[in-house]
């Protein structure tokens, strides 16, 4: 099983998307996650085609809306491995609110950002991660806006696994994706990838000269093993997140193994939730609805009373 489909991969030759596709396929294979337990969810953009190329369940959704779809899938059936593949424009532009909300929920989903600093599918406009003052060949003038920092945004939103990788170092990328999938909680990997057609600044050669691995730094330890370590590890990770220029760090910036997920919190309200999530409930027998909606009604009632007061 190599998780490949027979759909023709129509990205431009040399695009970093190929590296990311290979990284996901290898990670799934090495982790031995069956295709029928895997769901790849994408939005719109060149990265949006990814679910078509991976032998697993897949949903190619709307612009900026991959995370809400993925959230519904995971909450309905927590046994599934759910991976979001989205571009930097899709996830950090129109989908930025959903990106933040996933961190707040610390829901066990892996988000892979195909970060090429441009909107490749629509001819290379500046995306939210392109630094101000940079003029790619697709822009008439240098970019006027400051960039979003995906690492800093993810950490401050509540993601409990935050990493960066380079699409053309497939071995390292695969190892990071595997760690992200295995992490219990919201995980994000910001994957630096060349767009050979529209971004002539941040090329494969540009990255190869600058990228270095955090794990090779003496003393680098991004893992929170006790909640009291959080402020210090967050501060160190965010400081590293802004390093960009002669040296560009990749690897794990932050990993918190101590925080509960929203599924744990739902379980506190609904003791049968993990054993019988919505996807595993019978919805009717003999044409009669049998869903136990009483617990949900009780929860919603408490909210309604608070609003009325
Ligand atoms: Fe890749 Fe850019 Fe081509 Fe899209 S336009 S497939 S991101 S090289």
Asked whether residue 126 falls in the same domain as residue 151, the answer is yes
Q: How far apart are CA 1 and CA 9, in angstroms?
A: 18
User: Both 75 and 188 in a single domain?
Assistant: yes
Q: Could you tell me the pTM of the whole model?
A: 0.93
Does 281 fall in a domain?
Answer: yes
Which residue, judged by its Cα, is nearest atom 5 of ligand 1?
Answer: 120
DSSP tag of 147: P
| Domain presence at residue 155 | yes
What's the rounded Cα separation, in Å, for the pair 289 and 280? 14
For ligand 1, say whether the CB of 15 is within 6 Å of any of its atoms: yes
CA of 196 to the centre of ligand 1 (A): 6
20 in ligand 1 pocket by Cβ < 6 Å? no
Q: Name the residue range of residue 186's domain.
A: 17-261
Helix ranges restricted to H, 90-158 = 96-105, 150-157
Residue 10 lies in a domain: no
User: In the numeric block, which tokens belong to residue 63?
Assistant: 């612009």
- Do 246 and 283 lie in one domain? The reply is no
Instruction: List, in sequence order, the alpha helices (H) in the chain.
Output: 17-31, 50-53, 66-76, 88-89, 96-105, 150-157, 170-182, 204-210, 230-241, 262-269, 294-308
Q: Which atom of ligand 1 is nearest to the CA of 193?
A: 7
pLDDT at 127: 97
Same-domain status, 181 and 285:
no
Distance (Å) from CA 120 to ligand 1 centroid: 5
Domain membership of residue 112 (yes or no) is yes
188 beta partners: 111, 162
Verify whether ligand 1 is closer than 6 Å to residue 120 (CB atom): yes
The pLDDT profile of the chain, 309 residues, written as one tens digit per residue, is: 889 999 999 999 999 999 999 999 999 999 999 999 999 999 999 999 999 999 999 999 999 999 999 999 999 999 999 999 999 999 999 999 999 999 999 999 999 999 999 999 999 999 999 999 999 999 999 999 999 999 999 999 999 999 999 999 999 999 999 999 999 999 999 999 999 999 999 999 999 999 999 999 999 999 999 999 999 999 999 999 999 999 999 999 999 999 999 999 999 988 999 898 988 888 788 888 776 666 666 666 665 655 555
Last residue of a domain, one of 224, 240, 261: 261
Residues 91 and 214 both lie in one domain: yes
Residue at 45 is within a domain: yes
Count of structural domains, the chain = 2
Clarify whether residues 223 and 274 are in a common domain.
Answer: no
Query: DSSP alpha helices (H): ranges in 32-136?
Result: 50-53, 66-76, 88-89, 96-105
Q: Give a yes or no: residue 154 inside a domain.
A: yes
Give the tokens for residue 84.
Answer: 């979001």
From residue 309, alpha-carbon distances to 52, 121, 298, 299, 300 in Å are: 49, 49, 17, 16, 15
Residues 40 and 71 in one domain: yes
Cβ atoms of 29 and 3 closer than 8 Å: yes
Which atom of ligand 1 sits closest to the CA of residue 196?
8
Whether residue 7 lies inside any domain: the answer is no
How far, in Å, CA of 69 to CA of 86, rounded?
A: 12
Q: What separation in Å is there between the alpha carbon of 30 and the centre of ligand 1?
A: 27
Q: How far is the CA of 46 from the centre of ligand 1 (A)?
A: 6
Report the residue among 114, 121, 122 best suited for mutation to probe ligand 1: largest number of ligand atoms under 8 A from its CB.
121
Q: Are residues 40 and 94 in the same domain?
A: yes
Residue 128 lies in a domain: yes
- Of 151, 141, 157, which Cα lies nearest the Cα of 100? 157
Query: Which residues face 82 on adjacent strands?
Result: 39
Residue 97, classed as helix, strand or coil, is helix
Q: Which CATH number characterizes residue 212's domain?
A: 3.40.50.970
CA of 147 to the centre of ligand 1 (A): 20
**Cβ atoms of 114 and 86 closer than 8 Å:** yes
Mutation pick for ligand 1 pocket among 90, 113, 198 (CB with most ligand atoms within 8 Å): 198
**179/11 Cα distance (integer angstroms):** 27
Which residue owns the Cα nearest ligand 1 atom 1? 15
Q: In this structure, are 244 and 300 located in the same domain?
A: no
Position in ligand 1 atom list of the atom nearest CA 11: 6
Do residues 124 and 197 both lie within one domain?
yes
| Statement to judge: residues 233 and 290 lie in one domain | no
145 and 246 part of one domain: yes
Residue to mutate (ligand 1; options 116, 130, 204; most atoms within 8 A of CB): 116
Residue nearest to atom 6 of ligand 1 (CA): 11
């Amino acid at each position: 099983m190599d998780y490949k489909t027979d759909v023709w991969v129509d990205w431009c030759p040399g695009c970093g998307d190929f590296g990311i596709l290979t990284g996901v396929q290898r990670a799934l294979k090495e982790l031995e996650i069956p295709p029928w337990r895997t769901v790849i969810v994408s939005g719109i953009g060149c990265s949006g085609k990814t679910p078509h190329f991976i032998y697993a369940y897949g949903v190619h959704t709307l612009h900026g809306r991959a995370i809400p779809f993925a959230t519904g899938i995971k909450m309905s059936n927590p046994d599934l491995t759910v991976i979001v593949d989205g571009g930097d424009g899709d996830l950090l532009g129109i989908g930025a609110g959903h990106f933040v909300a996933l961190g707040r929920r610390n829901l066990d989903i892996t988000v892979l950002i195909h970060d090429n600093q441009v909107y490749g599918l629509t001819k290379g406009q500046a995306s939210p991660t392109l630094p101000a003052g940079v003029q790619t060949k697709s822009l008439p003038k240098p970019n006027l806006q400051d960039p979003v920092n995906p690492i800093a945004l993810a950490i401050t939103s509540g993601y409990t696994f935050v990493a960066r990788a380079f699409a053309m170092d497939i071995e390292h990328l695969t190892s990071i994706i595997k760690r992200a999938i295995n992490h219990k909680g919201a995980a994000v990997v910001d994957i630096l990838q060349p767009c050979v057609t529209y971004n002539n600044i941040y090329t494969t050669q540009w990255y190869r000269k600058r990228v270095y691995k955090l794990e090779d730094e003496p003393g680098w330890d991004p893992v929170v093993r006790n909640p009291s370590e959080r402020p210090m590890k967050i501060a160190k990770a965010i400081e590293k997140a802004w390093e960009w220029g002669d040296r560009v760090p990749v690897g794990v910036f932050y990993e918190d193994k101590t925080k509960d997920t929203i599924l744990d919190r739902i379980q506190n309200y609904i003791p049968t939730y993990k054993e019988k999530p919505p996807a595993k409930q019978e919805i009717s027998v003999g044409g009669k609805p049998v869903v136990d909606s009483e617990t949900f009604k009780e929860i919603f009632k408490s909210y309604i009373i608070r609003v009325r007061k």
